Amino acid sequence: MLQSMPEASPAKWHLAHTTWFFERFMLARQPGYRPVDARWDVLFNSYYQGVGPMHARPQRGVLSRPSLDEVLSYRDEIDARTARRCEADGLDDRDRQVLLLGTHHEQQHQELLLTDIQHALWCNPLRPAYRDDLPQPADAASPLAWRHYDEAVVEIGAPRWPDAQDFSYDNESPRHRVLVAAHALAQRPVSNAEFRAFVDDGGYADPLLWLSDGWDWRQREGLARPLYWDEDCAHAFTLAGMRPLAPHAPVCHLGYFEADAFARWAGARLPTEFEWEQAAAGSAVDGNLLDADVLQPQATPATIDTPRQLFGDVWEWTSSAYAAYPGFQPMSGTLGEYNGKFMNAAYVLRGGSCATPRDHLRASYRNFFAPAARWQFSGLRLARGAG
């Protein structure tokens, strides 16, 4: 029930909200539908102005009622009602779309559940572990290699669902052409050891490495290392509690500002989301994902001449502001609020993390967070010009 910051939500709220999504946007479309509890429409509405008022986000932690038991019963009840509607073949096209969308929505919240819990536990000076049975990540160095790309016109994004058969979010469409300039992309994400060198070199103390807003943020918050790193820069808080940092595992829990400052220090830059998608376009969605149940980024042995770890381990900050693709159309109706209205003051992250379900991802998938957000499994991969 705990809410450790306005951006995070209590676990119980995640459970109720994802179920409410099905009830409100699918079941309630049927005339005469009687909601399980009409008052919960306010409590578990996240941000959909189109369906009425909502409980203030920073106040989700005060919802001692309904109880966890009531929420679990609510989930069962909505599952049962949905099953009955399916069996009765009572679903129209829109229902089916909401049903599919709702499962993807719930997958997003599966990841947030973990990152919000990690943050909540970290706020406790006792630093309790979420699970005691997680493996210590493997660790093996591999040198940083670069892959070169010539200037090209690249197809970006996904055909618009549900016109197209394969699911994608509205913000991934339309598929369109982008001219990507010649450049080089690192074969793997930046590691803890590499980021440690930035820290040791005074990276957090040199304003010339930072964006102006980033420097102000760093000063105001007194930041000196990634979120969850111990002062010794040799341990970090994970879902398994405090753990030694694996030097060669991807660095994690960075804000955009830190990722950007590191890249500048390294004489490189962040890739655009188009450069990332071009690299990932042919690859299978595979890697250290939620399904692997490691729940921490880990080092992966080098392979020859192929970009590694594009999927899984850490979401990779790109330099692309989160914006509409040319011809972007939000989903119809209230669900148009799902993605489009957040296209400001955020950057795109790509590739998924060790907490993302494998079948939730694709090469065109666009995640986005504010540049000061650090509690996701967020890291970076370097890019640079072609010269």
92 binds its own copies (CB under 8 A): no
Restricting to residues 252-291, which ones interact with its own copies according to CB under 8 A?
A: 257, 269, 272
Residue 309 half-sphere exposure, CB side, CA atoms within 13 Å?
30
**For the chain, how many residues are written?**
387
Least separation in angstroms between CB 358 and its own copies:
29
Cβ atoms within 10 Å of 173's Cβ, excluding its own: 21
Least separation in angstroms between CB 298 and its own copies:
27
Cβ-based burial of 48 (10 A; exposed 0-12, middle 13-18, buried ≥19) = middle
Q: Among 304, 303, 348, which residue's Cα sits nearest to residue 324?
A: 348
Restricting to residues 42-81, which ones interact with its own copies according to CB under 8 A?
A: 42-43, 47, 49-50, 55, 59, 61-66
* Interface region with its own copies, contact rule CB under 8 A, candidates 86-94, 96-104, 117-125, 133-141: 117-125
Least separation in angstroms between CB 30 and its own copies:
24
Instruction: Decide whether 140 or 152 has the Cβ nearer to its own copies.
Output: 152
Residue corresponding to tokens 């799902």: 338
Q: Among 24, 29, 65, 62, which residue's Cα sits nearest to residue 41?
A: 24
Work out which of 183, 253, 308, 366 binds its own copies, going by CB under 8 A: 183
DSSP output for 311-378: SSSSEEEEEEE--PPTT--PPSGGGGGTTGGG-SS-EEEES--TTS-GGG--TT--EEE-TT--SSSE
Work out which of 76, 151, 201, 293 binds its own copies, going by CB under 8 A: 151
* Interface region with its own copies, contact rule CB under 8 A, candidates 35-43, 244-252, 298-306, 373-381: 35-43
| 9 neighbors 1 (Cβ within 8 angstroms) | no
Least separation in angstroms between CB 151 and its own copies:
8
Cα–Cα dist 78/104, whole Å? 17
Least separation in angstroms between CB 64 and its own copies:
5
Residue corresponding to tokens 């913000």: 171
Instruction: Decide whether 66 or 352 has the Cβ nearer to its own copies.
Output: 66
Restricting to residues 314-333, which ones interact with its own copies according to CB under 8 A?
A: 319-321, 323-324, 326-327
| 296 neighbors 137 (Cβ within 8 angstroms) | yes
126 binds its own copies (CB under 8 A): yes
Q: Which residues would be at the binding site for its own copies (CB under 8 A)?
A: 1-4, 39, 42-43, 47, 49-50, 55, 59, 61-66, 120-121, 123-126, 128, 151, 153, 176-179, 181, 183, 207-208, 210-215, 257, 269, 272, 319-321, 323-324, 326-327, 336-337, 341-345, 371, 385
